[in-house]
Amino acid sequence: MPRDITYREAVREAMTQAMREDDSVFLMGEDVGVYGGAFGVSRGMIEEFGEERVVDTPLSEAGFVGLCIGTSLMGMRPIAEIQFSDFITHCMDQLVNQAAKLRYMFGGEAEVPLVLRTPGGAGTGAAAQHSQSLEDWFIHVPGLKVVMPSTPYDAKGLLLASLDDPNPVIFYEHKLLYNKKGDVPEEQYRIPVGEARISREGEDVTVVAAGLVHHHALEAADALSGEGVEAEVVDLRTLSPMDHETVRGSVEKTGKLVVVEEDVKTAGWGAEVISRIVESESFYALDRAPARVAGADTPIPYNKNLEAFIRPSPEKVIEAVRKLLDVKVGVYS
């Protein structure tokens, strides 16, 4: 039965259930054991599974991610946790040149069922080296899947599905979502990787988002409804492979598109969403140019006011939709 639990608890439950069911699943990372993870996600797991399956590692992302890739080739199903997504830069060779390529290079005879979990995004005052949104780097790499759930329900279902996948999956968990609660069934269930959902129906404009900013999009849509504008919100859930068909169907219904993303605007994944629409027959459904709401092209400031200034927000989504529809008055005026 569904229960009201946090995003953090949903991720932990998915890992715990997978590890109880399959002895080949293990968790490895910095402080995931005794400390319970930098954000408390793995708290209590070492007590149940022991230090051989919940493994505290030295400060070497390159080392333990490489080890996880090797064990996955030997039939294990590792979960690697990177404390902050910024630190993923330390294992770029392992992910981009090894994990992403090995199944292809061995003609499908080798599999790399690795799930790399990492908290991303800004909003915690953690400054430039602990607040980045680098997911677009990995969308660009064939062979890697990139998942970004926005709700506790999706976090559990997508993590269990990712653990079943024979390919490496980078699983982004936004720091500001860990305490968010939602209904999550106790039993196991899976949400297919690569399947978006329409989280709010509307007729006037399509708003595409993922992760934390999906909630910004929903908040903006509720405010816009008071102005007579009904926005349809699409939660991508998976950034690679991207569910173009769900976006296409919505855009063909509304004729307008706004994309909301937290990564920097230049070469962000929102440009890919728009490009796929513009390059397809759906282009003719648009009655005006699409818009993007994204992070500014700058390192994340420590100062909380500056940090808020350069990040997406519900108000910025409202402003973008108003501008697109030429709406001049509303609750945030």
Find tokens 């999706």 and name the residue.
154
80 contact partners, CB below 8 Å, separation of at least 6: 28, 29, 64, 65, 68, 114, 115, 116, 117
Q: How many domains does the chain have?
A: 2
Helix or strand holding residue 152 (H, E): helix 152-164
**140 an active-site residue?**
no
Q: Pick from 81, 69, 57: which is nearest to 110 by CA? A: 69
Residuewise pLDDT in 10s, the chain (333 residues): 668 999 999 999 999 999 999 999 999 999 999 999 999 999 999 999 999 999 999 999 999 999 999 999 999 999 999 999 999 999 999 999 999 999 999 999 999 999 999 999 999 999 999 999 999 999 999 999 999 999 999 999 999 999 999 999 999 999 999 999 999 999 999 999 999 999 999 999 999 999 999 999 999 999 999 999 999 999 999 999 999 999 999 999 999 999 999 999 999 999 999 999 999 999 999 999 999 999 999 999 999 999 999 999 999 999 999 999 986 544 433
Residues 172, 202, single domain; the answer is no
Residues 159, 211, single domain; the answer is no
272 belongs to a structural domain: yes
240 belongs to a structural domain: yes
Residues 178, 252, single domain; the answer is no
The residue among 117, 151, 185 that closes a domain is: 185
As a whole number of angstroms, the distance between CA 299 and CA 264 comes to: 9
Which pair of structure tokens corresponds to residue 329?
């008055």
State the catalytic residue, choosing from 130, 174, 215, 216: 130
156 belongs to a structural domain: yes
Looking at residue 328, its pLDDT comes to 53
Q: What are phi and psi of 316, to 5 degrees?
A: -70, -35
Which pair of structure tokens corresponds to residue 258?
């706004």
Looking at residue 329, its pLDDT comes to 47
Residues 208, 76, single domain; the answer is no
The residue among 140, 164, 185 that closes a domain is: 185
190 belongs to a structural domain: no
Whether the CB-CB separation of 123 and 306 falls below 8 Å is answered with: no
Find tokens 């492979």 and name the residue.
241
297 belongs to a structural domain: yes
